[in-house]
Structure 1
Amino acid sequence: MTTRSFCLRVHARGAQPAMACLGALFVCQLGCAPVEGGGSSEGEELGADSTAGEDEQGEQDSSWLETDEGETEGSEEIELANVEGPCTNSDSLTATEPTEDQSYLAVALTPPAFPFEVTRVRYRLLGEDMNPDCNSQQAHTMMVFVRDEQGMPASPSMAEPMEFHAVEADPNSLSGRDVAIELDAPIVLEEGEAIVVAVELKTLPDLSDKICVRACADGPWPLETNYWSGESTEPYAWADTVADYDLQWNMVMMAYGAAL
């Protein structure tokens, strides 16, 4: 059996990129020797410095976690998210090998009560103003499906309910992109189920333009929440990036809906 090495590059403004190679179970700064065990300790966050997630004036930029415009006070809509409050150490995750093109990063979100109806989802992509390798303008795909008590489906396209969305290119999103998807039909979650938001790691063969998914290094890092598909085509070999690789980052993806 062949073990694949999946390398996620972590970008932080003002710092050299750090690379987390999942298949090899190590985390290192570019050019350094592998460190056994993976993950960070003593507050180290994969090479990110204190400027990560700050705007040009040095103030913490948490706008990418703000509530959508159009939501009104008193709304019964509930946000499901794996990051609570403003993120103090925000970066992005992106593939560093052409073989990771069309694989998926995903987040499974569990509602506070059941049954729960999900009507829309949201995620944020980093733009080239933060890193020239990131291209938030390009077209890509995303999926929304259900994880049940059996775990992540190896073939989401065969699952019910499931939605596949082709996200068009946006030439006006040079500095980053907040992608909001209205579901074609509401998805109702029952006890033991979670909604999964999966975003394609679109990567050109020469790695000149890549999809960079916003991530947060603030803990805690819950298990059975952050996933990588392991393959670019079905059947996927979903891996829990925290439990399997000790990658201490939460991919920032959200879902919205209400308890029924």
Structure 2
Amino acid sequence: MDQASLVSAVDTVQPDEVYNLGAISFVPMSWQQAELVTEINGMGVLRMLEAIRMVSGLNGSRHAGGGQIRFYQASSSEMFGKAAETPQSETTRFHPRSPYGVAKTYGHFITKNYRESFGMYAVSGMLFNHESPRRGAEFVTRKISLAAARIKLGHQKKLDLGNLDAVRDWGFAGDYVRAMHLMLQQEEPTDYVVGTGQMHTVRDAVRYAFEHVDLDWKDYVCVDPALVRPAEVEVLCADTQRVRTELGWEPTVDFPQLMHMMVESDLQQVSREHEYGDLLLAGSW
């Protein structure tokens, strides 16, 4: 949110590549704090682009090292929102259904505008949902994996969720970071959709997670209407033809493997937390 500090950082580092992953990324929060999310997720992109342009010179094409500063913007599948077609490709029109999606759409278009206006090497990756054991506990996949682990170990009884029928294209974050890097290694800057091309419901995520710990999810999951979004995004699925053919990118982890990975990590985390708590209670720490 501070233009001067961003300019100073770029000028000090003189980077070859800038990856703008800075954002408030929890979509439901964008209805409670729409202005803040818009300021950071939308205007923050403009400030990063301006910092690069100012350090590089008026045309934005060179920096002190003699090369071009390459800029990656983390766009989002939430820009498609109420999707006009399925799967969604680089040419699918945007119809965002949350303040988060609207802000990301602005960031996407301002990145394209600076590329066309100043000759900057600036690209956007329209990444579909990407998850890992590091995902925040407020996100649905991690909420599910953590609950499965806690219920299995006897530390939680129920899991409250919203719309179990919402469909997403979920992949492994590590795979998507490879795609981000590949985008900045191409001769010409181009925007790409990145996803697995496979659709799964929230119900699928629950089933995979609880199966991994030998539990029947129906015994533990409750639907809470308060957790349903004001304007739901029902179906998101990536058309991955371009990223696969032009970048040679392929995902290496499928969705069942991803949920199992996350549950396994959470089993270890929950066990460590309670072992640590027992040590404190026993005065052994």
- Provide the TM-score with structure 2 as the length reference: 0.21
Which of the two has greater strand per residue?
Answer: 1
Which of the two has greater helix per residue?
Answer: 2
Higher RCO, 1 vs 2 (CA within 8 Å, ≥6 residues apart) = 1
- Provide the TM-score with structure 1 as the length reference: 0.23
From the CA coordinates, give the structure whose radius of gyration is larger: 2
